[in-house]
Chains A and B, each alone.
Chain A
Amino acid sequence: MDSTIKLELLGFLEKLGVSKSAISDDMNLFAEGVIDSMQAIDYLVMIEEKFNVNVTMQIVIEKKLGCPSYMAKYIETLIQ
């Protein structure tokens, strides 16, 4: 999946020090400990600021949004 939103998300992660090449399409960044708790918060706040959506940690866990592809789909649904 190469949506614009997903590319934005990967850009956010790169800003947080996570290399794009280190992320596979189905990797759950939160569950697999790729990002720490502060990076997770930074990531979610970047998403909220950029897309003007509300993404709580509870939703992230329930919908497995730690995976950038899932997160991109979720945001697409919200902003449609």
Chain B
Amino acid sequence: MKKRRILAFTSIRSDYDLLSPLFNLIQKDSSLELKIIVSGAHLSKTYGYSISQIEKDGFQVLCSIESLIDSDSKKSRIKSGSILLQNAIDIVDFYKPEIILFSGDREDAIVAALIGSYLFIPTIHFYGGDHVIDGNVDNPIRHACSKLASLHFVSHELHKKRLIKLGESPNRIFVIGSIALDKFVSIKVHSINVIKKHFEIANGFNDFCLLIFHPIINESDVAYLHFKNIMEVLDENHINTFVSFPNTDPGNRKIIDILNSYRGNKNFFIYRNLDRDWFLSVFRRSSFIIGNSSAGIMEAASIPIPTINVGSRQIGRFADHNVIFCSTGKKDIASALKKIRTPEFQSTSSSVKNSYGDGTASKKALKLIQNLNFNNFLMKKEDPLNV
């Protein structure tokens, strides 16, 4: 039997984790063939060289495209995107996939959406319809990806409504939930002692939090100051913390400098990149998450633990009652920290049910992929005035 060829794009670890449970299911289906175009931060040793995880997971890399311009300038992301676009067009045309998958709002997503549109290959955009009012370029890029995509597999009913407002036809939109949550439900979580042993942490860390903070383009000059404030508040409160390196966006260099200045401080365990399984164990054993990662908004409620979202990144996104938004000032961060430790907030947080899904999203996505006739969705003829 001829297998249906599916091609996925991924450029960064965090986005790979948003789709990898689905990749697993596709891989197990004998009627489907999955190949991946890997680019960007996946191929950078500075950011953990996570292509090795993709290979370890057993997925076939169709091509690795070294596209990341590892710079702090505003031009770097669009230049990286253009390198990927130039290199991927002929590869996609040669492989001739029947469906292209991509997620989110980064350069690889818009590139995949453009290539699918111009080569007349049906595309599925995951996590579209989300909206953040931080002014970051990711937001309009996400909506642009949606406008180019044939189908939308979204994580929240509100995202479907927003896509319809953007002029997308309802029959193209499927609310499956967040695939990132699937592993939350299924994975075996390591105990704190096993985590400490694995990371060779000798003392403390019996109770810890997780800090993930990324710069956004319009705050790239000051993002490190916001990060510094978070680090100082955590240090002053003697909170053991697993701290992630930031992503590759402009403004990250100075954040890395701050991070490096804390090396040797026993309150902090700093990491560049963790295997998803270890990351999930650390996340699930954390007493709270702080920073500005979407994991705090969309995933923490599945544990459930409190989230302190610092600054404007993620604002506008639907959040459950376990999330507190605060400004980037030390006083506000300290106040949020105090609040999440109150019995009232702990009680609210522990009873939260995650609005982004129940851990079955990848199964739903697979069933849709198995059963939809994608060619019916290829031509986008709808007039948004009539949607």
Binding site for B on A (CB under 8 A): 37-38, 41-42, 44-45, 48-49, 56-57
Contacts and interface: CB of A to CB of B under 8 A. Distances in A.
Interface in B284-312: none
Given A41-B364, A41-B371, 13 more contacts: A37-B174, A37-B368, A38-B174, A38-B175, A38-B368, A41-B174, A41-B368, A42-B364, A45-B360, A45-B364, A49-B360, A56-B370, A57-B371
Contacts of B370: 56-57
27 contacts: A37-B174, A37-B368, A37-B371, A37-B372, A38-B174, A38-B175, A38-B368, A41-B174, A41-B176, A41-B364, A41-B367, A41-B368, A41-B371, A42-B364, A44-B367, A45-B360, A45-B363, A45-B364, A45-B367, A48-B363, A49-B360, A49-B363, A56-B367, A56-B370, A57-B367, A57-B370, A57-B371
The 4 closest A-B pairs by CB, nearest first: A57-B371, A41-B367, A45-B363, A45-B360
Which one of A41, A44, A56, A57 has the greatest number of beta carbons of chain B within 10 Å?
Answer: A41
Interface string B356-371: 0000100110011011
A69 to B, nearest CB: 22
Contacts of B175: 38
A49 B182 CA distance: 12
Interface residues of B, number: 11
Nearest to B358: A49
Contacts of B176: 41
A62 B364 CA distance: 20
A39 to B, nearest CB: 10
A14 B118 CA distance: 42
Contacts of A48: 363
A56 B165 CA distance: 33
Nearest to B372: A37
Interface class of chain A by DSSP: helix
Interface of B: 174-176, 360, 363-364, 367-368, 370-372
A27 B301 CA distance: 38
Contacts of B372: 37
A49 to B, nearest CB: 6
A75 B370 CA distance: 21
A56 B367 CA distance: 8
A44 B176 CA distance: 13
A56 B368 CA distance: 11
**Residue from A37, A38, A44, A48 having most chain B Cβ neighbours under 10 A:** A38
A1 B371 CA distance: 30
Contacts of B371: 37, 41, 57
A31 to B, nearest CB: 15
Contacts of B363: 45, 48-49
Nearest to B173: A38
Contacts of A49: 360, 363
Contacts of A37: 174, 368, 371-372
A14 B228 CA distance: 50
Nearest to A46: B360
Nearest to B367: A41
Contacts of A42: 364
A41 B176 CA distance: 9
A26 B364 CA distance: 26
Contacts of B364: 41-42, 45
A57 B175 CA distance: 18
Contacts of A57: 367, 370-371
A38 B370 CA distance: 13
B371 to A, nearest CB: 5
A25 to B, nearest CB: 26
A41 B153 CA distance: 13
Nearest to A42: B364
A44 to B, nearest CB: 6
Contacts of B360: 45, 49
A57 B372 CA distance: 11
A51 B122 CA distance: 34
Nearest to A49: B360
Contacts of A44: 367
A47 B385 CA distance: 39
A38 to B, nearest CB: 5
